[in-house]
């Protein structure tokens, strides 16, 4: 019997350059994009920086006596801010199979007077590697204030809830109590380590500088007729123009790819912190103790209308997992750089470097948004504390009984038996914990009956948590945030 059933194997889509939605776009620059970081890794930033580096080189070479005119330098300077002819650059690269030479010819086309001195004495890594270092430095400058804002928002939260008792967990089983604020300080402490680590990595960045084809500066020594002092001065001058305090004294054709390992390692470490933090948030949301922001018209599930899924925390965990894997690219690339360099690093770094910083940026924006709107449910926390507190209070009850002359071992045995009975009632029958009622009803514990309420006060079980929070915020968090004091006002609004 004939049917009109339609069974497509797949949907066929034809790529249309006029409609970018017919071509794959990475979610890092499409769905989740943060404009500032996306622009930092854009082709315009990259190739405009190449042009700026060619200006720096020409200026320095002119000052040190090479035959370069003011007209040539002015022509190059104007081209830095001009719109790059990317169509011409693409044609040149297809023809020459070399991206740097493609852009040398593209720049020469708009700077006819300067054409003879563009890239004079330099190797491709002069613009390629030095630009990567500039871009990564600028990327850290975008990330660090965002991380500082996350820490500051969480610090305000920790201070507000520094003395709110809550269950603490070891082995994911209820242990003694802590406070909501103290737990948040555990997160902040890790974030502070990331802040310091990323700042140190950023400040340790050195410029590749002017080194030539295999790092020997032979071409520049030839340009300056064997004058070593001028070659060294050229290196220092361009390094300072690019805003770096130091350059590599030793390198091959490239700066050592160990730098990429250090940069991506600091970002991967941040990823591990955020994953841990947001996993805790997801667990607390399942307990209904604490929630990330949930907007008025937000839908938690297309099927289960009642759900309030922690989607922001889940997003952070997913991004963090990706971020933690990317350092493997840097490690493998560095380990496979033969002798002075191989070119198998280029294709990998085009992906791994931007993706690491873009992922970290989106993750921090999401975390900041979470930290600016977390909601606490004290009554739920109190109920959950009260369910476990009778067990936790048994040691204090024993100590108070001993003060009234009881035998410690006998008291321990009696409480052990009552605890087992109450625990079985909770587990087998699903009933509330009635250990306290059992203790009150046992004549043996009459000496402490009148003070049981005081013994059971949750704040008796949080130790110095509030004081620890105050001291930590004052002595460690405030000084660390001081350099970012003027960058704290920006609010993190998420489009998705």
Please pick, among 228, 301, 335, 347, the residue that the annotation labels catalytic: 301
Distance CA 160, CA 184 (A): 11
Q: What pLDDT is recorded for position 303? A: 53
Q: What pLDDT is recorded for position 465? A: 95
Q: What pLDDT is recorded for position 496? A: 67
Q: What pLDDT is recorded for position 452? A: 84
pLDDT band at 309 (very low <50, low <70, confident <90, very high): confident
124-294+307-380 CATH pick, 1.20.200.10, 1.10.10.10, 3.40.50.720, 2.60.120.10: 1.20.200.10
* 3-class DSSP assignment, residue 239: helix
Q: Could you tell me the residue ranges of all domains in the chain? A: 37-117, 124-294+307-380, 394-455
Q: What is the mean pLDDT of residues 130-137?
A: 96
Residue 329, pLDDT > 80, answer yes
pLDDT band at 412 (very low <50, low <70, confident <90, very high): very high
Q: What is the mean pLDDT of residues 445-469?
A: 90
According to CATH, what is the number of the domain 394-455?
1.10.40
Query: Residue 86 corresponds to which tokens in the numbers above?
Result: 């990317």
pLDDT band at 173 (very low <50, low <70, confident <90, very high): confident
Q: What is the C-alpha R_g of the chain?
A: 31
Q: What pLDDT is recorded for position 181? A: 97
Distance CA 234, CA 210 (A): 7
- Position with higher pLDDT, 337 vs 194: 194
Please pick, among 171, 302, 450, 453, the residue that the annotation labels catalytic: 171
Distance CA 404, CA 122 (A): 87
pLDDT band at 454 (very low <50, low <70, confident <90, very high): confident
Q: What is the mean pLDDT of residues 172-200?
A: 95
Residue 295, pLDDT > 70, answer no
Quote the pTM value: 0.89
Residue 11, pLDDT > 80, answer no
180-203 vs 465-472: helix crossing angle, rounded to 10: 30
Q: What pLDDT is recorded for position 384? A: 92
Q: What is the mean pLDDT of residues 314-338?
A: 94
Q: What pLDDT is recorded for position 342? A: 87
> 473: how many CB neighbours lie within 10 A of its CB?
19
SS (H, E, C) 244-302: CCCECCCCCCCCCCHHHHHHHHHHHHHHHHHHHHHHHHHHHHHHCCEECCCCCCCCCCC
pLDDT band at 225 (very low <50, low <70, confident <90, very high): very high
- Report angle CA 299, 304, 308 to the nearest 5 degrees: 45
67-96 pLDDT, tens digit per residue, is: 999 999 999 999 998 899 989 999 988 998
Q: What pLDDT is recorded for position 4? A: 60
The architecture (CATH level 2) of 37-117 comes to: Orthogonal Bundle (1.10)
The verdict on whether 301 is a catalytic residue reads yes
Q: How far is CA 490 from CA 91, 102, 266, 293, in A?
A: 42, 40, 24, 17
Check if the beta carbon of residue 134 is closer than 8 Å to that of residue 242: yes
Q: What pLDDT is recorded for position 300? A: 55
Q: Which of 130-144, 304-318, 423-437, 449-463 has the highest mean pLDDT?
A: 130-144
% the chain with pLDDT above 70: 95
Mean per-residue pLDDT of the chain = 90
Residue 298, pLDDT > 80, answer no
Q: What is the mean pLDDT of residues 320-338?
A: 94
Residue 391, pLDDT > 90, answer no
- Position with higher pLDDT, 425 vs 17: 425
SS3 content of the chain, % helix, strand, coil (to 5): 65, 5, 30
Q: What pLDDT is recorded for position 6? A: 59
Q: What pLDDT is recorded for position 174? A: 84
The verdict on whether 171 is a catalytic residue reads yes
- Position with higher pLDDT, 17 vs 357: 357
Q: What is the DSSP string of 94-140?
A: HHHS-HHHHHHHHHHHH-TTTGGGTTTT--HHHHHHHHHHHHHHHHH
Residue 297, pLDDT > 60, answer no
Q: What pLDDT is recorded for position 456? A: 84
Lowest mean pLDDT among 295-309, 325-339, 374-388: 295-309
Residue 1, pLDDT > 70, answer no
């Amino acid at each position: 019997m004939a049917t009109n059933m339609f069974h497509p194997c797949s949907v066929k889509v034809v790529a249309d350059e006029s409609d970018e939605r017919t071509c794959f776009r990475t979610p890092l620059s499409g769905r989740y994009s943060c404009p500032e970081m996306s622009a930092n890794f854009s082709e315009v930033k990259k190739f405009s920086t190449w042009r700026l580096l060619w200006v720096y080189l020409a200026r320095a070479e002119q000052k040190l006596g090479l035959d370069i005119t003011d007209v040539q330098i002015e022509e190059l300077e104007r081209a830095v801010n001009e719109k790059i002819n990317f169509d011409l650059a693409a044609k040149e690269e297809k023809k020459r199979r070399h991206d740097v030479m493609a852009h040398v010819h593209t720049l020469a086309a708009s700077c006819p007077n300067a054409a003879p001195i563009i890239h004079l004495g330099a190797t491709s890594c002069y613009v390629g590697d030095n630009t990567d270092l500039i871009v990564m430095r600028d990327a850290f400058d975008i990330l660090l204030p965002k991380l500082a804002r996350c820490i500051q928002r969480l610090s305000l939260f920790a201070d507000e809830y520094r003395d709110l008792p809550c269950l603490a967990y070891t082995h994911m089983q209820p242990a003694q109590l802590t406070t909501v604020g103290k737990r948040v300080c555990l997160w902040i402490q890790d974030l502070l380590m990331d802040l310091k680590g990323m700042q140190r990595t950023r400040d340790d960045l050195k410029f590749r500088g002017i080194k030539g084809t295999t790092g020997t500066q032979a071409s520049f020594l030839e340009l300056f007729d064997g004058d070593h002092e001028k070659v060294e001065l050229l290196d220092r001058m361009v390094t300072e123009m690019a805003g770096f305090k130091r350059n590599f004294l030793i390198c091959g054709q490239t700066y050592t790819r160990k730098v990429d390992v250090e940069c991506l390692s600091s970002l991967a470490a941040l990823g591990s912190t955020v994953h841990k933090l947001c996993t805790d948030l997801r667990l607390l949301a399942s307990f209904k103790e604490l929630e990330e922001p949930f907007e008025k018209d937000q839908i938690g599930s297309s099927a289960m209308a009642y759900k309030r899924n922690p989607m922001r925390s889940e997003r952070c965990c997913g991004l963090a997992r990706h971020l933690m894997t990317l350092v493997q690219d840097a490690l493998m690339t560095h380990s496979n750089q033969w002798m002075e360099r191989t070119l198998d690093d280029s294709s990998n770094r085009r992906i791994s470097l931007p993706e690491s910083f873009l992922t970290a940026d989106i993750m921090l924006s999401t975390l900041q948004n979470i930290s600016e709107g977390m909601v606490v449910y004290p009554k739920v926390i109190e109920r959950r504390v009260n369910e476990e507190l009778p067990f936790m209070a048994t040691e204090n009850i024993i100590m108070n009984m001993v003060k009234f002359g009881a035998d410690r071992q006998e008291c321990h045995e009696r409480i052990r038996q009552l605890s087992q009975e109450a625990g079985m009632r909770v587990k087998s029958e699903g009933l509330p914990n009635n250990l306290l009622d059992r203790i009150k009803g046992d004549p043996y514990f009459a000496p402490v009956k009148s003070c049981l309420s005081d013994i059971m006060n949750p704040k008796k079980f949080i130790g110095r948590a509030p004081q620890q929070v105050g001291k930590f915020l004052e002595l460690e968090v405030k000084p660390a945030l001081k350099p970012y004091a003027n960058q704290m006002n920006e609010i993190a609004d998420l489009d998705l």
